[in-house]
Amino acid sequence: MRRSEFTDLRNYIFGSTAAIITNVSLIVGLGSAGTHKGPILGGLLTIALADNISDSLGIHMYKEAEGGGMRLSWAATALNFLARLLVSFSFVAIVLLFSVVRAIPVAIGWGLLLVVLLSYWVTASAKPATSNRALEIGKHLLIALIVIAASRYVGTLIAGYFPQ
């Protein structure tokens, strides 16, 4: 294994984008359904553990199949899990600090900012260099916004079918 492959952060943080979109979508969807902080926090903590562990296992298996060696496979597993855990805890903090109504736009703003930053970093460090970074970042934002909008729609439907 080459040293640069082991130190390349892209090997460890690519699951973070999934964690960002999943956490924002959970807050938006459950918030739109009229859910209180408790169930939202329970969902976020479940994502922080169960979803992150399962995703990290998938990354571990992918790295093994890629032939990167056991050391890189375990490093990718552990560091991906930690990156996703930190992302998840940032959304837990938002829900703890704000009312559900206020947490929704704060989480959306924070999540979209993180997607932009990660997208910029990945496109800037891509080999060969991405020719149109703004287009790539725009695509990533569009996907995130579609998922967030779909989550809001589903949350609103649930609230309509199961009023509190």
The predicted-structure confidence for 133-147, as pLDDT tens digits, reads as follows: 899 899 999 999 999
Two tokens, residue 110: 């924070």
User: How confident is the model at residue 1, as a pLDDT?
Assistant: 47
41 or 12: whose pLDDT is higher?
A: 41
Taking only the tens place, the pLDDT of each residue in 79-137 is: 889 889 999 999 999 999 999 999 999 999 999 999 999 988 888 877 676 678 899 89
Range of the domain at 36: 3-161
51: DSSP letter: I
pTM more than 0.75: yes
Please check whether residue 62 is in contact with residue 53, taking contact to mean a CB–CB distance below 8 angstroms: no
Q: pLDDT band for position 6 (50/70/90)?
A: low
Total structural domains within the chain: 1
* Chain mean position to CA 150: 16
